[in-house]
Amino acid sequence: MSRRTALTLIVVLAALALPGQALAASTNGSAGDMPALYDGHLFTINFKQEPGGGEAALLAHNGSINTIYMSDQAEAAGVTFTSVLDAIQGDGFNPLWQEVQIVFSTIPPQQFFSDNEILAAAAAGQIALVPTTEVYRCSVVGTP
């Protein structure tokens, strides 16, 4: 075996030994698929964050960006929180989504199943809604 072939083999074997995340660092394609809820129904969305420099411009100039609700606070408390969408195709859908964080105030972290539940909890003072500057390209790709 030539020295070049041996070196190539070592590099390939080292790459295969790395954790899966190192090999699948891109969220392009199906690697960006994740579950999300809309009006109590579970969907699969394809999710990719827009580049940092473009997010501010998208927020400033696109008045029809949808909302994707998330809760880092719930996750930190050990509660698995599935993102909640405020629209899907046929219901005012736009492929751009602004992340809004749910911060639990007077109730323990929990899963919500629709944007209406989230808005009602916010109106009741149970949670606070904190818009972020993060914008994602999301498409609803099916049901799990």
User: Would you tell me how many other CB atoms lie within 10 Å of the CB of residue 29?
Assistant: 10
How many separate domains does the chain show?
A: 1
What is the pLDDT at residue 59?
A: 66
In-domain check, residue 1: no
Rounded-to-integer distance, Cα 72 and Cα 53, Å:
23
Q: Answer whether 0.85 is exceeded by the pTM.
A: no
Highest average pLDDT, of 1-5, 23-27, 37-41, 89-93, comes from 37-41
Name every residue whose Cβ is closer than 8 Å to that of residue 49 and which is 6 or more positions away in sequence: 27, 134, 135, 136, 137
Rounded-to-integer distance, Cα 29 and Cα 44, Å:
13
Average pLDDT over residues 11-22: 35
What is the pLDDT at residue 120?
A: 98
In-domain check, residue 8: no
What is the pLDDT at residue 142?
A: 74
Burial 68-87 (b: 16+ CB within 10 A, else e): bbbbebbeeeeeebbbbbbb
In-domain check, residue 92: yes
In-domain check, residue 127: yes
In-domain check, residue 14: no
**Pair 42, 144: CB distance under 8 Å:** yes
In-domain check, residue 118: yes
Residue 38 tokens, joined = 């809309």
Structural domain of 85: 27-142
Q: Which of 98, 107, 99 is nearest to 126 (CA)?
A: 107
In-domain check, residue 6: no
Average pLDDT over residues 93-106: 89
- Whether 144 has a pLDDT exceeding 90, the answer reads no
In-domain check, residue 65: yes
Question: What is the helix (H) or strand (E) element at residue 98, kind and residue range?
Answer: strand 96-104
81 versus 55: the higher-pLDDT residue is: 81
